[in-house]
Amino acid sequence: MYIGPQGIVHGTTITVLNAGRKLSKNSDLGGRLFVTAGLGGMSGAQPKAGNIAGVADAFIAEQVEAIRKQVGDKKVLLALSGGVDSSAAAWLTRQAGYNCMGAMMRMFDKSILPEGCACSHRDDTEDARAVAKKMGMPFQLIDAAGEFSQHVIGDFIRTYESGATPNPCINCNRHLKFDLFLRHALALGCEKIVTGHYARIRQDDSTGRYLLYKAADSSKEQSYALYCLTQHQLAHLRLPLGELRKEQVRAMAAEQGFASANRPDSQDICFV
């Protein structure tokens, strides 16, 4: 347990404290439990964990069980990269009671990459496989090399040759991460895919449309990279990290013993 900007975090569950008496959960926030409990009007203060841990744990246990009953045997496909964000997203989803499968897309043969390339310094596949093994769930490697070459690398080259500025990550999201990956998930009988992107999805009650919102952590905000997603894709996507800050994600990963907990973020183009 640790205290972060949004409340007390018990393992993978955030407990928000304020003066209210109503106990509630917000299922729109990626399956995590946000519990509001009457604990002495402690909102905005630094609570003493020892005085409330038992009460908070009881609330958490009750609500986790409620989520598990609601979720049932719903299957999801977790997009694993071996990094801290996807690992934390997978852990949160697993704890929410979903029937989880892990998968990673093989974009290209890393053995052909030159020394010093952004992605050549470690085997991400083994990192992702280790995360899945640690959580006791199956893992798949999806061969997407052909699609990646056509839609991402090929477009990157053609765009540069035409004198424009390419955006390979948007093309990867549009054609692979949220198209090919989602089609693979649905073929496996999964209802949703889960990624470690920092953004939020909510459904408008009046129109039924799914809306994309910025993440709570403005320093890691990634909704701009998801602007191309369709209603179909948004409806089948969960983003468990949208309400969390990066330091909370790292602390959670460290608590669960993930090797990626303190690994630096990568902002490089993966094939250059």
Report, as residue numbers or ranges, the catalytic residues.
172, 270
Cα torsion 206, 211, 214, 220 to 10°: value is 150
The pair of structure tokens assigned to 249 is: 């994600």
Rounded CA separation 5/17 (Å): 11
Rounded CA separation 137/134 (Å): 8
Which amino acid belongs to residue 75?
A: K
Would you tell me how many other CB atoms lie within 10 Å of the CB of residue 70?
A: 12
CA distances from 94 to 45, 100, 102, 207, 255 (A): 30, 6, 11, 30, 15
In b/e form, how buried is each residue of 11-48, taking b as 16+ CB within 10 angstroms?
ebbbbbbbeeeeeebeeebbbbbbbbbebeebeeeebe
Q: How do beta strands 199-203 and 210-214 pair?
A: antiparallel
The pair of structure tokens assigned to 154 is: 């090929």
Are the C-beta atoms of residues 111 and 225 closer than 8 Å to each other?
A: no
CA angle 88, 209, 186 (to 5 degrees): 55
